[in-house]
Amino acid sequence: MKHLRHRSETNRKSRQSQASRSPVALSPKPYGSRLVAEVPDFEIRSGEVAANRLLDLPNPPTAIAASSDLLAFGAFHAITSRGLRIPDQVALVGNDDNEMAAIIRPALTTVSLPVAEAGKQAISMLEDMMAGGSPSPPQIVLDTELVIRETCGC
């Protein structure tokens, strides 16, 4: 599986080591046993460019996970423009359950994020900080939901 992610998702140490490189890192990078194609933003075009880089590899991926649905839409276009079939030849998964995910065909499998709850918790933490305290609790983990549709081949 290959992954498309925004460069802000890279850990701090990795970001520091990349500081001397190009600010737009669209070349696939090894990440454990996977490859990661970092993108400069969450735009559809960036997902398309990054997916094309992955698909141009000598051993192209049979699955791509994108860190947003917009990046996945770009990957979707890159995959289908090459005449490849989703999910038969390349499985695809997005992240954030954009309303278009259910409309495109095949419909995009994605991870649904609790955006309203995240906003509510962020405001509560900000209010704590503005009152001179520290956010309580300092870290919050919210549940997500895998929305299985048609692009994962599940």
Amino acid at 8: S
Kindly state whether residue 93 falls inside one of the protein's structural domains. Answer: yes
CATH number at residue 47: 3.40.50.2300
Q: Are 6 and 36 in contact (CB under 8 A)?
A: no
Q: Report how far residue 54's alpha carbon sits from residue 123's, in angstroms, rounded to the nearest whole number.
A: 39
Residue 123 DSSP SS3: helix
Kindly state whether residue 79 falls inside one of the protein's structural domains. Answer: yes
Query: Which residues of the chain have a pLDDT value below 50?
Result: 11-27
Quickly count helices (H) and strands (E) in the chain.
4, 7
Kindly state whether residue 118 falls inside one of the protein's structural domains. Answer: no
| Of 38, 35, 6, 16, residue with least CA distance to 25 | 38
Residue whose pair of structure tokens reads 């696939």 in the numeric block:
28
Q: Are 147 and 110 in contact (CB under 8 A)?
A: yes
Kindly state whether residue 36 falls inside one of the protein's structural domains. Answer: yes
**Close Cβ partners of 54 (under 8 Å, ≥ 6 residues apart):** 2, 4, 28, 35, 37, 60, 61, 64
Residue whose pair of structure tokens reads 């992240």 in the numeric block:
95
Kindly state whether residue 144 falls inside one of the protein's structural domains. Answer: no
User: 103: domain range?
Assistant: 2-113
Residue 4 CA, chain-centre distance (Å), reads 5
Q: How many CB atoms lie within 10 A of CB 24?
A: 13
| Of 15, 114, 126, 26, residue with least CA distance to 75 | 26
Domain total of the chain: 1
What local confidence, expressed as pLDDT, does residue 134 receive?
82
Kindly state whether residue 68 falls inside one of the protein's structural domains. Answer: yes
Burial of 119 (0-12, 13-18, 19+ CB in 10 A): exposed
